[in-house]
Amino acid sequence: MFTGLITDIGEVLSAGDGKIQIACGYDLGEDHIGGSIACNGCCLTVTACEAGPGAFVSAFQVDVSNETLARTTLGAWAPGTKTNLERSLTPSSELGGHMVTGHVDTVARIVGREADGGSVRFEIEADDALARFIAAKGSITLNGVSLTVNEVEGARFAVNLIPHTLIQTTWGELEIRDKVNLEVDLLARYVARIMET
């Protein structure tokens, strides 16, 4: 489990043949093999660790299935791609965002970006099938970041990102037409399931 609060920005060193190597600022060793790291919101298992190149402290490797490549943005990753990183929760972790599983539901698309006071407002278009899980003032995870939904119209919704979030994540570089990994709120999913029965 994760919170959607990003703690590092990693950089893809290599990607291919079902393996991705990512450089990061985490101090990772052999004891982290088998642990989980959310990479742009995707819960991935660390399969190898080594010292990082340049200013990076460590580099870790993850294996990715065809299912993950098909349902997320990871299939388009290449050396140099930046990714939001979050290590999994521990019993003493602060739960400042919301409960995030790291199981991406779909790839959504940015359809609007504009300054809104001191923040930046992004408009996102999701799959029609997921619209029922997205509610104004509810939580959503986009590229691993826990965000509050401002408004919803059909399968489109808006979120605002403050300057801190834009700087501490990859969101500051995202533009209209970019694709993002979307995970709906776990609570919304279970409420919808209960209402179906």
pLDDT 10s per residue in the chain (197 long)?
899 999 999 999 999 999 999 999 999 999 899 999 999 999 999 999 999 999 999 999 999 999 999 999 999 999 999 999 999 977 766 667 778 889 999 999 999 999 999 999 999 999 999 999 999 999 999 999 999 999 999 999 999 999 999 999 999 999 999 999 999 987 777 777 777 77
Give the C-alpha separation, 188 to 9, whole Å.
Answer: 28
Query: What is the per-residue pLDDT across 60-102, written as a single tens digit (0 to 9) for each?
Result: 999 999 999 999 999 999 999 999 999 997 776 666 777 888 9
Name the nearest CA neighbour of 62 among 10, 1, 113: 10
Range(s) for CATH 2.40.30.20 in the chain?
8-87, 106-196
What type of residue sits at position 187? L
Within 13 A of 31's CA, how many CA atoms are on the CB side? Answer: 2
Strands (E), 17-155: 19-24, 36-39, 42-51, 58-63, 82-87, 106-116, 119-125, 139-142, 145-153
**Annotation: CATH topology of 8-87:** Elongation Factor Tu (Ef-tu); domain 3 (2.40.30)
C-alpha 4: how far from chain center = 7
Per-residue model confidence as pLDDT tens digits over 130-145: 999 999 999 999 999 9
Topology of domain 106-196 in CATH is: Elongation Factor Tu (Ef-tu); domain 3 (2.40.30)
